[in-house]
Amino acid sequence: MNEKHYRQRQSCGMPLKKDAQGGGTEANGSKSTICCSRCYKDGRFITQAKTAKEMQNFVDKIMHDEMKANFIFSWLAKSQIPKLKRWRA
């Protein structure tokens, strides 16, 4: 799924600089330039999310449980998910 570089991951919307592992991995072991380590490993998606709505729920849980984000920040993050490359029709 490697293509051009984006400022945010194109599955969950995580900012590139927030991924402690520096991104997910492609099948050949190289770093993905468009997906994070929470969503993508060994060239395939590893989250249970199959729709943009499911990904929004996944991101909401991370934002609240791990990041302790406020409602507005969480809402902004979730609202852009359907616009990301993975979820566009």
Averages of pLDDT over runs of 10 residues in the chain (89 residues) are 65 84 93 90 94 93 79 86 89
pTM: 0.79
Amino acid 39 reads C
The pLDDT, as a whole number, for residue 4 is 57
The pLDDT, as a whole number, for residue 37 is 92
Distance CA 14, CA 36 (A): 7
Rounded to the nearest 5°, which phi and psi values hold at 62?
-60, -45
Beta carbons within 10 angstroms of residue 10's beta carbon: 23
Beta carbons within 10 angstroms of residue 36's beta carbon: 25
The pLDDT, as a whole number, for residue 11 is 92
The pLDDT, as a whole number, for residue 8 is 78
Do the Cβ atoms of 16 and 41 come closer than 8 Å?
Answer: no
